[in-house]
């Protein structure tokens, strides 16, 4: 079941009733949208993983890597920047994306996994 944040529910109520002045001053339509369209990863406290991968030179390289990452349970979105050789993955912490697992997966695809950094909120 999806859980909405209390402030998101208050914002919807304020908009529907016509009381936008009751919204916090830092509230924006983007924030409202982000809180209302709640993915399982967002609700569970998702992480963003930035992976440095060498050897990806074409859109096909990116597509095959993205497909493999999306197949991992808990991964909700993947995007690739070919120029920088960086793949960004949004996933729940339980997806357990470790450097050793990523190194093995990318090696099977013919790429070299170099490093990974983790941050909060996708």
Instruction: State which fold the 42-120 domain adopts.
Output: Alpha-Beta Plaits (3.30.70)
pLDDT 10s digits, 54-89? 999 999 999 999 999 999 999 999 999 999 999 999
Are the CB atoms for 92 and 40 separated by under 8 Å? yes
Taking 50 as the pLDDT cut, the residues of the chain under it are: 1-4, 35-36, 38-43
Pair of tokens at residue 100: 């050793």
Q: Per-residue DSSP letters for 50-82?
A: EEEEES--SHHHHHHHHHHHHTSTTEEEEEEET
- Residue with token string 């009751």: 22
Residue 110 pLDDT = 93
State which H helix or E strand residue 100 sits in. Answer: helix 99-109
Please give the angle made by the CA atoms of 45, 53 and 116, to the nearest 5 degrees: 35
Its pTM stands at: 0.62
The domain ranges of the chain are 6-38, 42-120
């Amino acid at each position: 079941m999806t859980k909405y944040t209390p402030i998101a529910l208050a914002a919807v109520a304020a908009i529907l009733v016509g009381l936008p002045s009751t919204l916090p001053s830092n509230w924006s339509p983007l924030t409202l949208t982000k809180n209302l369209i709640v993915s399982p990863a967002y609700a569970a406290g998702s992480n963003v993983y930035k992976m440095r991968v060498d050897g990806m030179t074409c859109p096909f390289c990116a597509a095959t890597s993205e497909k493999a990452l999306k197949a991992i349970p808990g991964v909700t979105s993947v995007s690739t920047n070919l120029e920088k050789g960086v793949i960004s993955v949004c996933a729940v912490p339980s997806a357990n994306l470790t450097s050793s697992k990523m190194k093995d997966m990318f090696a099977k695809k013919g790429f070299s996994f170099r490093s990974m950094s983790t941050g909060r909120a996708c």
